[in-house]
Amino acid sequence: MPNGDVTKGELLYEGKAKKIYVTSDPALLWAEFKDDATAFDGDKKGTIVNKGVYNVALSEAMFKLLDEKGVPTHYVDTLSDRELLVRRLDIHPVEIVVRNVSAGSVCKRYGIDKGITFDEPIIEYFLKNDELHDPMLNRQHVTVLGYAPADALEVMEKYALAVNEILSEYMLARGVRLVDFKLEFGSADGKVYLGDEITPDTCRLWDAETGEVFDKDRFRHDMGEVEDHYAAVVKLLTEG
């Protein structure tokens, strides 16, 4: 889908990480990535300098890779170092989390140690709802409560596992371990697409040899050098 003469319109929605604008083409949206950072359901707020630039660069590279590998994404074009042109989707309010290694909430929830490599990826579902603090769902919640049709959920699960396989292999070859990540999906013209972003905000990314943390956990847990590590992992994953 070519960019053509698409122009930016009114603000449609502002979230924690992005501003979304309508465009002169009703099938497209204009996404502007912010430097704002939040954690712990918004209780912690701050700024990661140039986060928007890093997140656009990594999202562009990962979306292009996934499109090439047969996972359709909402990515259309890069408008600037902070802005993407994306396909407008009817978003399914279900966040799919894929876990390869134990970290974060899964350790607290099940009382397991950090850093355990699972025998196979674990898929979890969460309702995308800030007021309810994104409660965990099972497959029946998703379909029976109408958050996504069964056929769409099946496609979302298939794509989530494909994303995991593609990105895990790609990242490991560049010295980065894909620990876990969050995906969002939507539909347009009867087809399911991967939406949102693929960034250090939405993925846990560790150095494959040392375990050094490259992602938003550095902000969450006051580990320091957040910008340096965002810049480093984006360089690793987008250059060469």
pLDDT value at residue 5: 83
pLDDT value at residue 3: 58
Fold annotation for 8-87: Phosphorylase Kinase; domain 1 (3.30.200)
Burial 214-235 (b: 16+ CB within 10 A, else e): bbbbbbbeeeeebbebbbbbbe
Match domain 90-226 to its CATH number in 3.30.470.20, 3.30.365.10, 3.30.750.200, 2.60.120.380.
3.30.470.20
pLDDT value at residue 240: 62
- pLDDT tens for residues 21-56? 999 999 999 999 999 999 987 789 999 999 999 999
Domain positions in the chain are: 8-87, 90-226
CA–CA separation, 192 vs 188, rounded Å?
7
Kindly give, in sequence order, each residue whose CB lies less than 8 Å from that of residue 184, ignoring residues fewer than 6 positions away.
Answer: 91, 92, 94, 95, 96, 128, 194, 195, 196
Tokens 């693929």 found at: 198
Which tokens is 76 given?
Answer: 């259309």
Residues in the chain where the model's pLDDT stays below 50: 1-2
pLDDT value at residue 126: 98
Which tokens is 64 given?
Answer: 């292009």
